[in-house]
Amino acid sequence: MSAPEQRYIGLDVGRTIRGALVSAEGSILRQHRVVSEVSDAQVFVDQLADVIKTLNNDQESRRAAAAGIGWAGLVNQSAQSIEANPNLVDVSSYDLHAQLERDTSLPVVIDNDANVAAYGEWRAGAARGARDVFFVTLGTGIGAGLILGGVLQRGTRGFAGEFGHFKVDQDGLECGCGGTGCLETVASGPNIVRRVREKLFSDPSFSVSKLARDMEGTLTAERVMQAATENDDLATLVLRDTGIVLGTAIASIINLLNVEVVVLGGGVMAAGDLIMRPIREGVKRATVSQAFKCVRIVPAELAQEAGMIGAAFLARDLFGG
């Protein structure tokens, strides 16, 4: 009788803790999620352990071999510590890694959420088989993961991939990072909404836009994407401008590193070709022609599951032997 296939747990930790039990081949066997605690650090840490333990509670005793965690913040990879945690409860007083290993009786690895999503797309998604990959996630913020020569690149302390803080406008808005003119201040979901609002206020010709009706309520990035798919001129214009800026920034990475595939994921990509076409146009305008000819620019395949699968695969490849 052959030995049962190993299983691994992957967590994608943000405002929601999303976890999955994943086979060694990348199939999601079971999922569990909870809304993250925002005020009590100990409760939050207990939530993380409870999600892992819930996913590892198998009546057939086919328990997971290890767990990986993708974290929405800066992770010191060598120390396995959280160094910046902008949108979650502060856990800096905890040795999170040690506590989770103790509470779950599993080996655990923690990495940045964009890194693990990149890893998922590389191992099981749109970048399968490639060796040089640039992954970008476009949502509330903008993150990235980089794989060169078949190795996930993290930098000296694990902080590589902060693509959202590329400077694209010297006279631009202040960013949450403390700088100004960052890519996030133009192309993240909330800033796409901001730019739509500014155009509605400043240009009367857009008063017929479907989005003008949402001004009195809550205008969201999702609504802008939907309006673009409905051929709304304002939404289409803002997405086109966004795509050109993104493409120009991505071109810098292609020129520098000559990657073979760029994978684009995150909520903003729900606009499909309406954002993909101008991104490709911006890349083509700003990339050395020889480098452009040998790069593929593709949408992500794993959607919201990329982080969970990538975290599980990170644990698999580190602890699976």
Q: From edge to edge, which strands make up the β-sheet containing 151-153? A: 151-153, 142-148, 133-138, 261-265, 296-299
Query: pLDDT at position 2, please?
Result: 43
Predicted local confidence at residue 321, as pLDDT: 58
Beta-ladder partners of 74 = 84
Per DSSP, the residues of 99-113 read: HHHHHHTS-EEEEEH
Say if strands 16-23 and 28-35 run parallel, antiparallel, or are unpaired.
Answer: antiparallel
Rounded mean pLDDT of 169-177? 89
Mean pLDDT of 117-138: 97
pLDDT tens-digit series, residues 33-71: 999 998 999 999 999 999 999 999 865 557 899 999 999
Average pLDDT over residues 278-301: 97
Q: Where are the alpha helices (DSSP H) in 30-177?
A: 41-55, 96-104, 113-124
Q: If you average pLDDT over residues 79-87, what whole number do you get? A: 86
Using the Cα atoms of residue 239, residue 245, residue 251 and residue 257 in order, give the sign of their dihedral. negative
> Quick one: 222 exposed, middle or buried, by C-beta within 10 A (0-12, 13-18, 19+)?
middle
- What pLDDT is stored for residue 215 in this prediction? 67
Region of poorest pLDDT, from 18-32, 74-88, 127-141, 208-222: 208-222
Q: At 283, is the pLDDT very low, low, confident or very high (cuts 50, 70, 90)?
A: very high
CA distances from 144 to 108, 134, 194 (A): 22, 7, 23
Q: Specify the pLDDT at position 93.
A: 86
What pLDDT was estimated at residue 63?
86
DSSP state of 211: G
CA–CA separation, 117 and 51 (whole Å)? 19
| % of the chain residues with pLDDT over 90 | 75
Please state the domain extents for the chain: 7-119+305-319, 126-300
Q: Which two tokens stand for residue 57?
A: 């509670």
Average pLDDT over residues 178-199: 93
Average pLDDT over residues 212-230: 84
CB of 309 closer than 8 Å to CB of 9: no
Q: Check for a shared fold between 7-119+305-319 and 126-300.
A: yes
**Domain 7-119+305-319, CATH:** 3.30.420.40
Mean pLDDT of 248-275: 95
Least confident window among 81-85, 101-105, 275-279? 81-85
Residues 6+ apart with CB under 8 A from 314: 10, 68, 109, 111, 116, 119
Residue 279, pLDDT score: 97
- What number is the average pLDDT over the span 198-216? 82
Q: What is the CATH number of domain 126-300?
A: 3.30.420.40
Q: Give the H or E element holding residue 253.
A: helix 233-257
Confidence band (pLDDT; 50, 70, 90) for 174?
A: very high
Q: Tell me the pLDDT tens digit for each residue of 102-125.
A: 999 999 999 999 999 999 999 999
